[in-house]
Every structure is written in structure tokens, then in C-alpha cells.
Amino acid sequence: MSIPDISESEWAVMEALWGSSPQTAHELTHSLNPSMHWAENTVRTLLSRLVERARSRPAQTPRAPALSAPRYRGRLA
């Protein structure tokens, strides 16, 4: 499986979700806010993009996310 082509911002969202899941958009905004200073609408947009690309699955699905932390953790290092 190749590394997906997602933005740096989308990677930040994925890293936050890997760190603590599941999270609501509101919770995710608060966990990202100290470093990113994003509004909740920005986080919701990024989540929507990830779901549309099938890189992440909504929390309601019983399946694991399409990206797992161990495989991609070092991508931005």
C-alpha cells in the first residue's frame, strides 16, 4: 500500500485521531488548537475531505481506519 496523497493539514488531523480516538469534531478542534489555531469548521472540512477520499472511516463503522498509525507515523518525520 502506498502512502496516500493528503495535505499536511489532513495528516495533522490523522495524527490527532491516531493519538486519541474516537473524537468528535469539537474535541478534535480542542486537541489541535494549541498548535494549529483552527476553527471547528476548518476541522470539519478536513474530516470531510478525508472521508470523501476514503482515507478515514466515520466512527460509526465497525471497521478500522484505512490508515493505521504504525504504518504511516514516520511519514512527516
Give the pLDDT confidence of 20-67 residue by residue, as tens digits: 888 899 999 999 999 999 999 999 999 999 888 754 445 554 544 444
Q: Say how many C-beta atoms besides its own lie within 10 A of residue 55's C-beta.
A: 16
76 closest CA partner among 1, 2, 9:
9
**Has residue 12 got a pLDDT over 90?**
yes
**pLDDT tier at 1 (50, 70, 90 boundaries)?**
low
Predicted TM-score (pTM) of this structure: 0.67
| Residue-range domain boundaries for the chain | 8-58
Band of residue 2 on the pLDDT scale cut at 50, 70, 90: low
